[in-house]
């Protein structure tokens, strides 16, 4: 029986044109991260399952990790996220690393989730983290960096909003203000995370079901809704609006507005799923009506490094995924035309393949990407192949061209052709790239 040609369910094959888009997205993130002094790291895709049990959150660990026993009896997981891993790396060299420590990683992560738009079981993320900074200067840098990445893709502030909240504020209003117990707090936070995906009546009914009779009588649901629906900090109930965390958030918003990131706003309904956040959290939302959703986010998690038995290191980080970003670029018409990396196709006539390879060596030395057609097919078929591959230029090499050293450079889009030496062709193609 023939083997299946399908990729693993929920994962994707990346043919060259798909890979060009993925490389474009992550190379853009890499470049911006580097411009802020972040350095690339990597780590094994397998980690002991305990690493995630500590802080990642029950749903991911129990229902969504890829977990198995290796041939040596170790219980391992394919990393569902990078945060615990980077914390492990920092803990391992706690004393040797200089702080602030700025790190980024680009690579795959895995979660066994139901498939939906923008969500895959194998997905790619760029994680960007800063270690060793207690002040909000860390959050300010990362939010500006995230904004800069979005702008580098051509996004305008009208296309997305950056929402801010704080774990301390969330804890205060769920526990102290509303009087929810710990189990209720977790359930309510999860429900609020799905608020926009539920009809309002359904959302309210589920909230209601989470409350005790006494809480229901006390108007707990109504008070929660009032907080969630507050248009800004001023619209919050009196007992909440003077909480000290809000002053810090207000300051962050003001500095960011002053730095030109004027699409940042406080949002009391922003929860963030992971258990490890300890301070400010933020998320970037797509404002397009066809793709109105959270794209990526992050926040402060000061406790993770300490789980490895060393002194804790204050940390702020965020992660951007490939699929949600690709959706954003598509709906906002921001996907650039990404031509083949191959700049020149060489069709060969007669038995001169090796001579042709030798002749184009100088083009390759000059940095031109050149594919030689070594199929032995007829000339018209070779030219069709170049066209099929979307390669912009073609030359034909036969005995005559080799003897004269002159080659007709044809632009496959315009049909125009000019005759030049290979040295001249190298310089023309280099210019056309820049």
Size of the site for a second copy (CB under 8 A): 97
Taking residues 357 to 396 in sequence order and writing x for each that binds a second copy by CB under 8 A, - otherwise, the string is xx-----x--xxxxxxxxxx-------xxx-xx-------
Task: Please report, as residue ranges, which positions from 61 to 80 form the binding site for a second copy (by CB under 8 A).
Answer: 63, 66, 68-72, 74, 76
Q: What is the pattern of x (binds a second copy, CB under 8 A) and - over residues 192-221? A: ------------------------------
């650039």: which residue's tokens? 336
Least Cβ distance, residue 185 to a second copy (angstroms): 25
Question: Of residues 131-150, which lie at the interface with a second copy (CB under 8 A)?
Answer: 132-133, 135, 137-138, 140-141, 144
Tokens of 388: 């099929």
CA distance 360 to 397: 10
Residue 227 Cβ, how far from a second copy at the closest point, in Å?
Answer: 30
* Residue in 73, 95, 98, 117 binding a second copy, rule: CB under 8 A: 98
At a CB cut-off of 8 Å and minimum separation 6, what does 259 contact? 140, 144
Residues 28-57 within binding reach of a second copy (CB under 8 A): 34-48, 50-51, 54
Maximum CA extent, the chain: 96
| 248, 252, 258, 259 alpha-carbon torsion, rounded to 10° | 150
CB contact at 8 A, 398 and 418: no
Sites for a second copy among residues 292-311 (CB under 8 A): 307-309
Instruction: Tokens for 370, please give them.
Output: 């050149």
| CB contact at 8 A, 304 and 230 | no
CA distances from 153 to 27, 35, 149 (A): 11, 15, 7
Angle at 341 between CA 128 and CA 382, to 5 degrees: 155
Binding flag, residue 418, a second copy (CB under 8 A): no
Interaction pattern, residues 258-287, with a second copy; x per rule: CB under 8 A: xx----------------------------
As measured in angstroms, the least distance from the Cβ of 61 to a second copy is 13
Dist. CA 154–CA 329, nearest whole Å: 9
Report in angstroms how near the CB of residue 11 gets to a second copy at its nearest.
Answer: 3
3-state secondary structure of 271: coil
**Opening angle at CA 355, ends 352 and 359, nearest 5:** 135
Q: Name the one range near a second copy by CB under 8 A: 84-92, 174-182, 289-297, 422-430.
A: 84-92
Contact pattern for a second copy over residues 323 through 362, marking x by CB under 8 A: -----------------xxx--x-------xx--xx----
């Amino acid at each position: 029986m023939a083997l299946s040609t399908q990729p693993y369910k929920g994962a994707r094959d990346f043919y060259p044109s798909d890979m060009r888009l993925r490389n474009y997205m992550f190379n853009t993130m890499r470049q911006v991260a580097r411009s802020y002094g972040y350095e690339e790291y990597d780590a094994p895709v397998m980690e002991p399952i305990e690493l995630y049990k500590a802080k990642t959150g029950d749903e991911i660990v129990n229902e969504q990790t890829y977990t198995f026993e290796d041939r040596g009896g170790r219980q391992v997981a394919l990393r569902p996220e990078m945060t615990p891993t980077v914390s492990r790396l920092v803990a391992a060299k706690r004393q040797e690393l200089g702080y602030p420590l700025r790190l980024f990683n680009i690579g795959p992560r895995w979660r066994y989730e139901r498939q939906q738009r923008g969500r895959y079981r194998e997905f790619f993320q760029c994680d960007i983290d800063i270690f060793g900074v207690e002040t909000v200067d860390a959050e300010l840098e990362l939010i500006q960096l995230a904004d800069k990445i979005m702008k580098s893709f051509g996004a305008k502030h009208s296309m997305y909003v950056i929402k801010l909240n704080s774990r301390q504020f969330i804890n205060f209003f769920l526990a102290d203000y509303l009087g929810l117990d710990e189990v209720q707090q977790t359930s309510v936070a999860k429900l609020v995370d799905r608020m926009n995906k539920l009809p309002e009546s359904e959302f309210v009914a589920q909230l209601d079901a989470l409350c005790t009779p006494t809480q229901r009588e006390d108007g707990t649901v109504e008070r929660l809704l009032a907080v969630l629906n507050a248009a800004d900090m001023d619209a919050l109930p009196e007992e909440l609006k003077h909480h000290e965390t809000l002053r810090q958030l207000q300051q962050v918003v003001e500095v960011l507005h002053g730095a030109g990131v004027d699409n940042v706003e406080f949002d009391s309904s922003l929860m963030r799923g992971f258990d490890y956040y300890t301070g400010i959290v933020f998320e970037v939302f797509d404002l397009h009506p066809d793709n109105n959703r959270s794209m990526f986010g992050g926040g402060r998690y000061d406790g993770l490094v300490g789980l490895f038995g060393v002194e804790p290191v204050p940390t702020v980080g965020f992660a951007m995924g490939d699929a949600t970003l690709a959706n954003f670029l598509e709906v906002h018409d921001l996907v650039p035309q990404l031509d083949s990396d191959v700049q020149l196709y060489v069709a060969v006539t007669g038995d001169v393949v090796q001579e042709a390879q030798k002749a184009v060596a100088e083009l390759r030395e000059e940095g031109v990407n050149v594919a030689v057609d070594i199929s032995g097919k007829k000339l018209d078929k070779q030219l069709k192949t170049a066209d099929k591959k979307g390669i912009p230029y073609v030359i034909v090499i036969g005995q005559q061209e080799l003897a004269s050293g002159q080659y007709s450079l044809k632009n496959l889009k315009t049909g125009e052709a000019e005759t030049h030496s290979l040295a001249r062709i190298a310089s023309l193609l280099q210019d056309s790239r820049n």
